[in-house]
Amino acid sequence: MSSGYQVKIIGLEELLRSFARFPQISEKHNRTAMQKAVITVESNVKPLTPVGVSGRLRNSIASEVRGGGSKIVGAIGSTLRSEEYPAVMEFGRRPGAAMPPYGPGSQLARWVHLVLGDAVSVFQVARGIARKGIRGKFYLKNGFEKSRSAIMGYFQAGLRAMVEDLRRGR
């Protein structure tokens, strides 16, 4: 004698359709969270960015969100990609490194002229930087650290929204 059971799951088809849409649902909420994250980091990085004499570095801070699907990437940094100045201001310059560019028209020459005056030799300042180095400002790192809890909140909210969209079959 054989006995059998029959199980009927109500709503299974709707649930399976929701899961089929998970990649789109996930991308939508992760992209939103990443956009909020890069805006938050950028707004916390800018006030920490050294101004120098022209404000070029601070004005060069930008953010973008790129990619899609499960590979959404947020980037925050300087648009001065061909210059070493942003990296030197972030990480510093070790003692004994080569002298920074100091010729006429260089950022250093302009800084010395405006801040220290014409009585100071740009060469001497460049040589001093080469000998002693420069301490990093860590404006990007510190701006990110200041944003960390907000970023976690954005992605937690995105996860809750994903679950809600799946539950409602959106």
Do 42 and 79 reside in the same domain of the chain? yes
pLDDT for position 18: 73
Predicted confidence (pLDDT) at residue 79 exceeds the cutoff of 80: yes
Which residue range is the domain that position 149 belongs to? 22-91+136-165
Do 27 and 84 reside in the same domain of the chain? yes
pLDDT for position 4: 81
pLDDT for position 2: 67
Do 71 and 102 reside in the same domain of the chain? no
Predicted confidence (pLDDT) at residue 5 exceeds the cutoff of 90: no
Q: Which residue's structure tokens are 């080469």?
A: 130
Average pLDDT over residues 88-97: 95
Do 127 and 143 reside in the same domain of the chain? no
Do 87 and 158 reside in the same domain of the chain? yes
Is 73 part of a structural domain of the chain? yes
CA distances from 29 to 33, 40, 138, 158 (A): 6, 17, 30, 5
Is 5 part of a structural domain of the chain? no
Domain count across the chain: 2
Do 59 and 113 reside in the same domain of the chain? no
Give the DSSP letter string of the chain: ---------TTHHHHHHHHHTHHHHHHHHHHHHHHHHHHHHHHHHGGGS--TTT-HHHHTEEEEEEEETTEEEEEEEES-TT-SHHHHHHHEE-TTPPPPP-STTSHHHHHIIIII-TTS-HHHHHHHHHHH-EE---HHHHHHHHHHHHHHHHHHHHHHHHHHHHHHT-
Spatial distance between the Cα atoms of 28 and 135, rounded to a whole number of angstroms: 41
Predicted confidence (pLDDT) at residue 140 exceeds the cutoff of 80: yes
Do 30 and 68 reside in the same domain of the chain? yes
Global pTM?
A: 0.81
Predicted confidence (pLDDT) at residue 22 exceeds the cutoff of 80: yes
pLDDT for position 78: 96
